[in-house]
């Protein structure tokens, strides 16, 4: 575990230092994300982390990536697709509830074919890789090691809390957003424990972000993107809208995510 954390931090430092030393394009300019630089960065950080996990699993435990739920067979595709569908559900429910309750509005976004090709598609690819990286680190390698050191439930709780805390540096971060993110992270960890599949959570995490930002144009963890298929706005008290942190700090979001993930956990308990 110590070796993994050291190497992940070293990888992040090396990529960032190398990026600046080579004078590569910035990933955000005037508050707007640049999709191609972000995609390149995400590829480096996700690919490097996957290599680190694979080497350490082989060196310390003589195991492959299947030990952390990353098997490379047909089920990987099925689980990714199922997770992708699941991740869109709570976000869609939040937007639908907001519109029906009168504190939300949704309009068509100003996106044309060119914008879709040069901005949204690379952003989706980058979003997938970044989601995969977070899942690999937290609910992949570290969840496994904490499960060995303590037990799977404790591991889900620990990694969920860490998941909440790593968002504390995001713009507009508040205690509600960090708490709800941690609760969601705990349930996601329990889902990995119950299914043994990291692919399911990669799909869920990616779809959550993509549905919120790419589809509905909502702020995700305090950050907004330049293009989306729809433009959604939430108005009212911070407990309804999430304030500057965005919809993830809103109470309805927490409720819908808890309901959806709890239902999924119950389903897989019955299946297993």
pLDDT, one tens digit per residue, over 85-135 is 999 999 999 999 999 999 999 988 766 666 666 777 888 899 999 999 999
User: Measured between alpha carbons, how far is 33 from 145 in angstroms, rounded to an integer?
Assistant: 34
Adjacent-strand bridge partners of 220: 223
Contact between residue 199 and residue 69 where contact means Cβ atoms under 8 Å apart: yes
Contact between residue 250 and residue 232 where contact means Cβ atoms under 8 Å apart: no
Contact between residue 26 and residue 34 where contact means Cβ atoms under 8 Å apart: yes
pLDDT, one tens digit per residue, over 53-81 is 999 999 999 999 999 999 888 889 999 99
pLDDT, one tens digit per residue, over 139-175 is 999 999 999 999 999 999 999 999 999 988 887 888 9
Could you identify the residue written with the tokens 């965005």?
246
Assessment of whether the complete model's pTM goes beyond 0.85: yes
Is the pLDDT confidence value at 272 over 50? no
Averaged pLDDT, 222-243: 82
Q: What are phi and psi of 168, to 5 degrees?
A: -70, -20
Query: What crossing angle do the helices spanning 35-61 and 2-21 adopt, rounded to 10°?
Result: 150
Is the pLDDT confidence value at 270 over 70? no
Contact between residue 218 and residue 246 where contact means Cβ atoms under 8 Å apart: yes
In three-state secondary structure terms, 220 is: strand
Could you identify the residue written with the tokens 């709890």?
262
Adjacent-strand bridge partners of 105: 233
**Cα torsion angle, 113, 114, 118, 123, sign:** negative
């Amino acid at each position: 575990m110590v070796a993994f954390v050291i190497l992940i931090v070293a990888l992040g430092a090396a990529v960032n230092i190398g990026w600046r030393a080579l004078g590569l394009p910035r990933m955000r300019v005037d508050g707007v994300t640049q999709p191609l630089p972000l995609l390149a960065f995400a590829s480096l950080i996700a690919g490097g982390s996957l290599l680190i996990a694979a080497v350490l699993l082989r060196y310390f435990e003589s195991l492959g990536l299947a030990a952390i739920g990353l098997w490379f067979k047909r089920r990987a595709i099925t689980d990714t697709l199922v997770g992708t569908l699941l991740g869109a559900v709570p976000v869609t429910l939040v937007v639908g509830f907001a519109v029906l309750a009168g504190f939300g509005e949704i309009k068509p976004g100003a996106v044309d074919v060119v914008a879709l090709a040069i901005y949204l598609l690379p952003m989706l690819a980058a979003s997938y890789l970044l989601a995969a990286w977070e899942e690999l680190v937290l609910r992949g390698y570290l969840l496994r090691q904490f499960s060995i050191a303590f037990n799977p439930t404790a591991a889900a709780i620990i990694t969920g809390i860490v998941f909440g805390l790593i968002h504390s540096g995001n713009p507009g971060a508040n205690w509600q957003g960090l708490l709800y993110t941690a609760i969601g992270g705990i349930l996601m960890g329990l889902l990995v424990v119950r299914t043994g599949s990291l692919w399911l959570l990669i799909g869920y995490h990616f779809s959550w972000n993509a549905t919120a930002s790419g589809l509905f144009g909502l702020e995700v963890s305090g950050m907004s993107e330049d293009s989306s298929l729809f433009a959604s706005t939430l108005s009212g008290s911070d407990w309804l809208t999430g304030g500057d942190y965005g919809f993830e700090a809103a109470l309805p979001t927490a409720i819908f995510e808890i309901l959806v993930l709890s239902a999924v956990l119950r389903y897989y308990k019955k299946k297993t």
